[in-house]
A and B are shown apart, each in its own frame.
Chain A
Amino acid sequence: MIAVATKTSAERTSTEMRAPEGAAQAVSRTTRDRLRLAGPSVVLVALVLLVALAEPNFLSMNALAVVSAQAVPILLLGLGQMFVILTGGIDLSVAALASLATVILATVIGSLGPLAVVVTLVALTLIGALTGLLIVVGQVPSFVVSLGALGFWGAVALVASGSTTIYISEGYDAIFWLSSWTVLGLPMAVWAGVAAVAAVFCAMRFSPRGNVFHLVGLGEKAAMMSGVRTRIVRIGAFALSGFFAGAAGIVLSAQQQSAAPQLADSLLLPAIAAVLVGGCAITGGIGGAWRVLVGALVVTVLRVGGSVAGIDPSFQQIVYGAVVIVAVAVTLDRSRLSIIK
């Protein structure tokens, strides 16, 4: 009996077919990439000018300080979220974690002083890592587990705080400077935020493995098969998300001199919007720290500028929702999603 060495799988794989397609798509891809890069900054400038038209005082140093201070928590949440989104997932628990962070901080700052900041950051990083661990080991969708984490840790914050606002009096000197000290007219928190962005950018640019989040987002299987420890990377992304949520909580506490179990909850959508509007693709693999900064500013200007220009705050939710959908629709890389769920 003679048989033949064949495998009837498609020999001429779709790669050959895709080469001509790809060339045609190349043009539209780089144009879209350029849009993604330049677009948000243009939008930001346009928005600022629009608001300034309605209220010329908006262009003053004072206004800039207010806007940038408000932007910092969103920026920090966005930075953390960026890591997760880069790898292709999403973390719906960031805002609840930030609220929890304020509660933890307020609880221990009295006894630990500046050490409380460290404790908070460590605790949140571990919580984030736990979420990531469950997602990666269980091989389950990130949005479900992070939704569960949102509920669970939100409940922890409620219980730990007795569901009331905690006023921070003793130990406040450990963090007050974030909000009160200014350099060049901008509060320290703003500079801390910028420093964070710069640090993340440098780490990604100058470390040999700096682009590992992007790689995992673009092709997790191929990255895995190239020896990248993708599970660690994804857990790390969630750990970073927790870390930055902690940082956001600390800044919020400094700004409001208080903690509350749902203080940051409303910042979830602005944080996601900041990441997407800034030009990071929801499908993963594309994005960077400066883009999140631009996105956070756009989102904050939308918020603040709306009231400054006299727009009804209740419309903000609608605008956010629409902005998220539009940003995603534009930046979504459909060539990599053959089935959209």
Chain B
Amino acid sequence: MSTTEVTGEVTTPAEPVAPVRSTRPRVRRLLSTAGPLAALLGLCVVFAALAPGFATANNAMAIVEQAAIPVVLAMGATLVVLVGGVDLSIEGVMAASGLTFVLLAANSVNGNDLGLLAVLLALGVGLLFGVVNGVLHVVVRVPSFLVTLGTWFVGLGVATVLFGTATPQLADPSLAAWAGGHWLGLPVVVVFALAAVAVTVLLCKGTRLGMHTYAIGGDEATSRLAGVPVGRTKIILFAVAGLLSGLGGVLATIRLGVGDVSVGSGSLFLTLSAVVVGGTLLSGGRGGPLHSLVGVLLLVVLGNGLLLSGASPYIQQGAQGLIIVVAVIATGWPARSRLRVVK
């Protein structure tokens, strides 16, 4: 039973196959955990030397704040990747939730003023998208990257419809305060990010759902035979990812101050790169939320450092594209073999 890679090997021989001895698993695991962390530290050192203003407390705070929303998104993306799938709908869900939120809270376009409830309902929208993703993938058996490719654009479309003609501006002072405000001494977004990390880590390490997630990612067929509820688990994970995308959309909208269909623009890239770079394997079963946290920090530090060094902002996008390719090839390198097929 050879596991298929993401949209990958589609053949499953019925005959038993000799056990694949993983090449020095300890070394690989060490590399995947320590590698990104080392790279992050290395980058910090390099930029501290080369970029003016990098190594200051203010900049560090800026980095952390900038990383907050991507971290929230990365937690959701990690859960889906761990189980062997992928969620491309992040930006669409962010847009739909963001618009929902701003139109339900006090705004310049209509008379709603639901306050905190608006946040919750917007999260509900995200959850709904996630459930749709999960159900279409599990029940209709469409590959996850295609389902989420579709819902990405459906989400953008929904947001466009909601947007209407005039830009809705957020007019709720208490919610708007989240953008610059502090809770417990930390910026609000950072608190959310930390909470997201904590919840995801708890889920992965401490719950039965988490164990099942890793099992399915490790070998879906074996897990199924062992009695793991594969379908249900996947739907739940997609739902949680949708919820977190929704949260990201709400937070980004608050920061922006207005409803905007392109509120999530560029997030997919950053999030997916962070997950891959952080060491979570796209085939599933390896890595986790802490890996992705390092991945996000790595990319944000990279962008920050490049900016402070005077590089054009487009270089950042180019660098991210390059990094995602390098990271996925590097992490997949040990698994190569002559006849292997990965689509």
Contacts and interface: CB of A to CB of B under 8 A. Distances in A.
**A and B touching (C-beta < 8 Å)?**
yes
B12 A152 contact: no
Contacts of A221: 11, 339, 341
Given A90-B7, A318-B157, A321-B154, A148 B84 contact: no
Contacts of A332: 141-143
Nearest to B221: A339
Nearest to B268: A147
Contacts of B336: 138-139
B325 A320 contact: no
A284 interface: yes
Contacts of B184: none
Task: Tell which of B157, B319, B336 has the most Cβ of chain A within 10 Å.
Answer: B157
Interface stretch (A42-50, A74-82, A101-109, A154-162): A154-162
B33 interface: no
A341 B155 CA distance: 22
A14 B269 contact: no
A321 B273 CA distance: 24
A283 interface: yes
Contact of B317 (A141, A151, A334): A151
A224 interface: yes
A141 B343 contact: yes
A214 to B, nearest CB: 14
A143 B325 contact: no
Contacts of A272: 149
A54 interface: no
Contacts, number: 200
A324 B6 contact: no
Nearest to B163: A314
A149 B325 contact: yes
28 contacts: A13-B14, A134-B329, A140-B282, A144-B272, A144-B328, A148-B323, A151-B317, A151-B321, A154-B317, A154-B318, A158-B317, A221-B339, A221-B341, A283-B10, A315-B161, A318-B161, A320-B153, A321-B155, A325-B142, A325-B151, A328-B150, A329-B142, A332-B143, A334-B141, A339-B220, A340-B142, A340-B144, A341-B8
Contacts of B220: 339
Nearest to B272: A147
B317 A317 contact: no
8 smallest beta-carbon distances between A and B, as pairs: A151-B321, A155-B318, A317-B157, A152-B321, A318-B157, A321-B154, A314-B160, A321-B153
Interface of A: 8-10, 13-14, 87-90, 134, 138-145, 147-156, 158-159, 163, 219-221, 224-225, 269, 272, 282-284, 312, 314-322, 324-325, 328-329, 332, 334, 336-341
Contact of A139 (B86, B158, B332): B332
Interface string B91-132: 010000000000000000000000000000000000000000
Contact of B149 (A141, A142, A324): A324
The binding surface of chain A is classed by DSSP as helix
A221 B337 CA distance: 13
Contacts of B258: none
Interface residues of B, number: 72
Contacts of A320: 150, 153, 157
Given A13-B14, A321-B150, A332-B141, 19 more contacts: A139-B340, A140-B342, A141-B5, A141-B8, A142-B7, A143-B6, A144-B324, A148-B321, A148-B322, A269-B153, A316-B157, A317-B153, A319-B157, A321-B149, A325-B150, A329-B140, A338-B12, A339-B12, A340-B142
Interface string B298-323: 00000000000000101111111111
Q: Which of B142, B146, B319 has the most CB of A within 10 A?
A: B146
Interface in B153-198: 153-158, 160-161, 163
Nearest to A17: B14
A331 B8 CA distance: 18
A148 B8 CA distance: 18
A219 B323 CA distance: 31
B141 A340 contact: yes
B137 interface: yes
Contact of B343 (A152, A284, A321, A334): A284
Nearest to B154: A321
Nearest to A337: B10
A220 B341 contact: yes
A10 B276 contact: no
Contact of B314 (A143, A158, A317): A158
Nearest to A314: B160
B317 A341 contact: no
B15 A321 contact: no
A321 B157 contact: yes
B147 interface: yes
Contacts of A147: 269, 272, 321, 324
A148 B325 contact: yes
B7 A141 contact: yes
B161 A312 contact: yes
B3 interface: yes
Nearest to A261: B314
Given A140-B329, A283-B10, A318-B158, A163 B314 contact: yes
Given A324-B146, A339-B3, A156 B343 contact: no
B227 interface: no
